[in-house]
Structure 1
Amino acid sequence: MATELRPDLVVMDVKMPKMDGISAAEKLHHGRIAPVLLLTAFSQKELVERASEAGVVAYIVKPFTPADLLPAVEIALSRGAELRALEAEVADMSERFETRKIVDIAKGILNEKMGLTEPEAFRWIQKASMDRRLTMKDVALTIIDQLGAKQS
């Protein structure tokens, strides 16, 4: 159900009929579906550690009052937002790193085939990117495809 609805937060008990809450939390965490706040009557250290390893963002022990639950929900929502922001940042950094590697390969090809220095090759790719309204990565991939394939 959470997979289809994509909630901001899943609140569930450790003890559930078909699957224990920690296993369910782990699936939700690994699938990047939603952060999980786990409710339980158990506070054993091993259970808390297992929940933490499964990606649970908040853990509240029964019995609790509504006043106890609200801060836990707020913290869980905040942690979930932080995790999403970090994942987005990592994805962006990975993409920039990949682009940089591709541009570096293209600069090497321009150096070898056209005799351009590293700064000249970078500027050439940058200008071609602006002139053609393409990303630098796309220009670099074209250079690699067109000029790099002719290497012998």
Structure 2
Amino acid sequence: MKNAIVVVDDDPIIRMDIREMLEEGGYFVAGEAKNGEEAVELIARVKPDLAIMDIKMPLMNGIKASNIIRKLQQDTSVLLLTAYSQKELVKEAREAGVAAFLVKPVSEVDLLPAVEIALSQKEKMDSLKQDIKLLKQSIEERKLIEKAKGIVMQTFALNEEEAYAKMRDVSMLTRIPLSKLAADILRDGTQTLSVSAQGG
């Protein structure tokens, strides 16, 4: 089994058909809902990879639900189903951050490729988020190292290159990552360098 999916439609027969197609395609159906309100609550609870959702439903339509889902649980992709292919609906769906769009009646031939596209978009987004997170972390570590280097330069009357070399040597000797060593210097001062070096 792969990828958790929820199915949202006010018609129980359509939900059952879609569930069967998905399960035959090797997907895991994590839950079902019959309107937008239920969908929002269900998705917040089970955090699926994908929601397949009808546009026209009682209480809250699929586009409004998609907007809320995107704000609350950005990791869930949405594939919208509709009996209409009106341009304004497509525009609204796109603005709601919907990954893909299918016109009813849905066949397995149409559904499974659309699911694959929606999930691959989600994977790309997840990968991009991870890259951004690592980049932010790298920038933060760089800032720590720069600040610590300034302290080392001042304390030992070294130039920038010498201070960095001193920190790097202690880092290699003690097998303490440079960013961790920098944080220790900022917290405890440059005695960290001699303590760390002796400890190693």
With normalisation by structure 1, the TM-score equals 0.82
Provide the aligned C-alpha RMSD in A.
2.2
Q: Equivalent residue for 1:65?
A: 107
User: Which is strand-richer, 1 or 2?
Assistant: 2
Gaps of 5+ in 1: none
Q: Structure 2: give runs of 5+ residues left out of the alignment.
A: 1-41, 191-200
Aligned partners of 1:28 and 1:35 also within 8 Å:
no
Correspondences of 1:48-59 after superposition (within 5 Å):
48-59=90-101
The 3 A distance-change label for structure 1 pair 53 and 132 is farther
Moved more, 84-93 or 49-58: 49-58
1:12 aligned partner, one-letter code: M
Q: Cα offset for 1:133? A: 4.2
Kindly indicate whether the alpha-carbon contact (under 8 Å) linking 1:2 and 1:33 is maintained by their aligned counterparts in 2. Answer: no
Q: Determine which structure has more spread, i.e. the larger CA radius of gyration.
A: 2
* Equivalences, count: 148
CA distance change for structure 1 residues 128 and 55 in 2, over 3 Å: closer, same or farther?
farther
Partner Cα separation in structure 2 for residue 87 and residue 94 of structure 1: 11
Range with greater deviation from structure 2 (83-92 or 39-48): 39-48
Q: Which has the higher contact order (CA 8 A, sep 6+)?
A: 1
Within a 5 Å distance, the mapping from 1:122-141 to structure 2 comes to 122-141=164-183
CA distance in 1, matches of 2:181, 2:59: 52
CA contact (8 A) 1:37 1:58 kept: yes
Q: Which residue of 2 aligns with 1:5?
A: 46
Q: TM-score, normalised by structure 2?
A: 0.65
- CA distance in 2 between counterparts of 1:45 and 1:124 reads 64
Does the aligned pair in 2 maintain the 1:11–1:36 contact within 8 Å?
yes
Identity %: 41
Cα distance in 1 for residues equivalent to 2:179 and 2:43? 36
